[in-house]
Amino acid sequence: MKRIRDLSVLTLCLMVVVLAGCTVTHQPSPSKSTPFAEIPRFSYEREELRPRVQRIEEENAFRVEKVAFPSSMPPHSVTAYHYVRKSRKPSPTIIILPILAGDYFFSRNCARYLARRGFSCLRFERTTNPLEAEKGLAHTEMVFRHAIIDIRRAMDWLDQTGGGDSNRMGIVGISMGAIVAALTLEVEPRINAAAILLGGGDIATILATSREKVVVQFREEVMRAEAIGLEQFREEATRILFPVDPLTYAPRVDPRNILMVNARFDRVIPPSRSEKLWEILGRPLWIRIPTGHYSAALFLPYLRYRILKHFRKVFAEGE
């Protein structure tokens, strides 16, 4: 018993030391938002969405439904999981977006955590890979654009079915999902709050400087296919991806409704690009953790807690 007790004390001490390395910055601009106007690039024909819905799991407080519908980018399809609260009172809904590759551990974990604490969630899986070198940068722009449109279409379905409180909707994204989350917040007026984790702005520079293997391979193959150098690659990416970059529409949002989390030693999303997004968004609440991109997983319990705290605060103030 003494050994177990000593181990628990040691674990607690280590957590205190690690959390002490976090930096929390909160310097929101006093009045930073412009009226929402529809951006033609993200417009779509509004029609009744009739997805296939299959109940797959049930807990005391909520049930999980698999939702599938054709993407706005044929021939792909969209798969999402709806965590539906068993309550007569409409609950806030959080949209959760995934990383570029790998499993869905974080997004699944986050959805379940929030659903157990009073939120409905709509957790998306990936539709298509935005980094296909043989299709070039134009394909990357197209994937980002249609990701936004598909999220908006799914929100229409939630409105039609009464699947949540349409006046209290938030979004969470991690890594690539964070870039899409920031862009969705800027484009879609029904999104009231966002948690942007391990993301950044200036997609062109991220693609030109990231050390992530998938990104490096994409960059090198595009440069080789087009017979261009790194600076030309960055210029071309800037031109093509500007319309889907979160930096482009940042003045449209209120920084008081945003939480950003980034890793100090991130080699996937350069810290300078995270700071750039923070600045352009109006200096929202910003937490920097002492890890790299993937080792940020060590902070999962802390990050879930901060996400929960953020959404509760924003939605309580909006009541």
Give the pLDDT of residue 26: 67
**CATH-assigned architecture of domain 53-317:** 3-Layer(aba) Sandwich (3.40)
Cβ atoms of 123 and 83 within 8 Å: the answer is: yes
For residue 9, the SS3 value is helix
pLDDT at 20 over 60: no
HSE (side-chain half, CA atoms, 13 Å) at 152 = 25
Give the pLDDT of residue 5: 45
Q: Where are the domains of the chain?
A: 53-317
317 confidence band (pLDDT: 50, 70, 90): low
Cβ atoms of 235 and 309 within 8 Å: the answer is: no
Look up tokens 């969630």; give the residue: 121
Burial of 4 (0-12, 13-18, 19+ CB in 10 A): exposed
Peptide bond into 271 cis (omega under 30): no
Give the pLDDT of residue 8: 39
With a pLDDT cut of 70, the percent of the chain lying above it is: 88
Q: Which residue has the higher pLDDT, 93 or 318?
A: 93
pLDDT at 10 over 70: no
CA distances from 59 to 66, 109, 265 (A): 15, 14, 38
Does this model's pTM top 0.85? My answer is yes
Q: Where are the beta strands (DSSP E) in the chain?
A: 23-25, 52-58, 62-70, 77-85, 93-97, 120-124, 169-174, 193-197, 258-263, 285-289
Give the pLDDT of residue 58: 92
Q: What is the distance between the alpha carbons of residues 173 and 175, in angstroms, rounded to a whole number?
A: 7
